[in-house]
Structure 1
Amino acid sequence: MSSGEVPQEKKTLFSTLVQKKQAETDAQKIQNRILQLKMEHEKILKHIQQDEQRAEEIYRHRVEIQMKKENKMKQKQAQPPPFSLAVSHHQRELLKKIKEDELNKKKSEAKIFREQLKQEFKSVQLQKSLEQEGCRIKAIQVKEEERQSTQLAVAKLKQKRERVRYEIENEKDRIGKEKELYDLKIQELEQLEQLAMMELQNSIARQQKAQEKIQQAQKLSPSDYEKQQGPHNDIYQYFNMLNESLESDKELDPERERQRLMLKRQKSIEESLQLSVKDHIIKLENYLVELKKDLENSKKEMSNLRMDIATVKNTHGTMSDDLTTFIQNDAKRVLNETLKKSQDAQHDSEFLDAQLNVLKSDKDKLQDVTSTLEKRIVSCETDVGFKHVYD
């Protein structure tokens, strides 16, 4: 995983936590609003109850006053008239009519007062019903807002979950591509190993041929060696032909070796596809150990070759100076080529060591990324909190 992707995922997780905290804050605000509405509703009901009690008290008080007035009127009517019996009948009728008018007036006033009380009571009841309906509508609106906010939070969490899944799939694809690149690197390293092995085998073969020449020069006398190898004048021609044949063999052998190595490489690739990166690394380490051992053996054989050349030179003396000089030159040439091949093989070995170190570090990074990714998947699923609901 690249260094830029980790803060992005941390940022998305932090935004999810912020949204979750915001949703909890909104829910708490809605609950506070509901409690406030309930308190206002209780206050309104309390005021309505107080108004009803007050209206009933006013009504009872006025009824009591009216009853007292009626009782007084009855008492006055029951009392004998204060004036004498000489009052005329017309006056009595007039007083009676006045009293009846006053009584009717009071009754009409009481009736009007009752109607006003009824209208006030009806208006209070209507206001109470309107307030109750308003509270009910507000409660419905609050519930609808809560439902919409919950649906919005669920939709956001679903989108977050899908985005996390998409990022996880992309990360898995990237890791698979990196593994393919590692496999290609391993195949390239195996090809380099095979080429180094070919060069080492060619150097060993030429070294063995040079040792055979030295052994013949040590065992045979100069005359016998010249008889076996031909006239002294044709020595250079013979070794030139020998070098040409070796060069031709060198030109032909790589082709055959290449075909053989292509088959071997194909077989190795098929086997490597079935192996893991860890097995590849172990295989390369074992091969490097064997290659280092071969290089050490080659150095030992070259030192033995130098000692043999010095022995041949001391044995034959001046009689075979030309032949010995030629053999020494040829041996030096073979030695230089072998040293060059050994240096190339050493360079390839160092290169393979570096590649192995890179592969090991990449393997460790890959394991760290995999463990980190698994932890983030678990943490994301825990933060989202909808794993068991939507899976």
Structure 2
Amino acid sequence: MDIVKFSIPEIIFGRGAMKYAGLCAKRLGAEKPMVVSDPGLREAGWVSRLFDVLAAEGLEWCYFEDVVSNPRDTQVGHGALFYAEQKADVIIALGGGSPMDAAKGIAIVVGNGGSIHDYEGANRIHRPLPPMVFLPSTAGSGSDISQFAIITDTRRRLKMTIVSRTLVPNISIIDPMLLVTKPHHLVLAAAVDALAHAVESYVSVIASPFTELQSLKAIEIIAAHLPRAAQESSLDVLESLSIASTAAGMAFSNASLGADHALAHSLGGMFDVLHGEVHSVLLPAVMRFNLEHAMAKLAHIGKILTGKKWKSARTAALAGIEAMESLFLSLGMKHRLRDLVPDRDQLPTVCRMAAQDACLLTNPRPATWEDLLSICEEAW
């Protein structure tokens, strides 16, 4: 076997784990941490809960919430200036993928200078970042685990993918209690995102035995609990989805992703669509596109999703894709690209941008922008 690496943060998992946030920040040298979150988390009461935790440890803090879904390059710039003005020392991110990716972008600029655009691509960050403690409020993005940051370039209207080992937070505190106040449709969209992470990392050309174990476990848990999540939002279900999201994050952080995420980033940058909704539309079509290049692995996924044995790998793989489509329909997720993209004539532009995305490098089947367009046409 080739030499592989497997990078993850220190993980603290469990109901009520938020209470350790102040202690963890102090352990990283915090005297005045900068908290990055969003208005939704503040209105739900979680930001004030975090402030209470920090105060109990005798910490001052500063607070930044200029963050929206699909965080912008401009917000990263504002956040880096705010960090410097406040003389902050540790970054604490509370929220879903948007606050966490914004926090990573802020940390990049704080530690390395320049503009966030200077770091687009892989391994372009050369100086250390401020210590980071992340508390995810969603079971899906995996940003609290991963080496990725996704930031929207507002001028080019695309999502920049930034990849570096330094983007793995020092500590991830995963408290399933945070999901209790999450709107139901966002819980489902996040779980679909985690499923896409698991599937694409499993078939990635740089998957390893370490990532494959995590990918398969995530698929298994999501297949068992996502239908239940559509009916109930019990803490047991939410905790299981948090475990699956964490496993999927470990996998894709180290094995990367594929064509589905390359297209999702491009669509999110151009049309500001909800990330999880893109996967319910495109992931089945991408799996069909990859079929001949990842038959055995897609067959394994098919056996998990259907709970059956099949006579051939092809039959199992196709049955799994069909089962996934049926699951997405039962959840009420969007299933046609026309529901997300207002103008079909924009698809070539979307696909040309997606062809430059770093995630496409690890797709099991090489793809040109024309190939991506055929995937989009199938999903239209």
TM over 0.5: no
Q: Which has the higher helix share?
A: 1
Give the number of the structure whose alpha-carbon radius of gyration is greater: 1
Larger RCO (alpha carbons 8 Å, 6+ apart): 1
Q: Which has the higher strand share?
A: 2
Task: Give the TM-score of the pair, scaled to structure 2.
Answer: 0.20
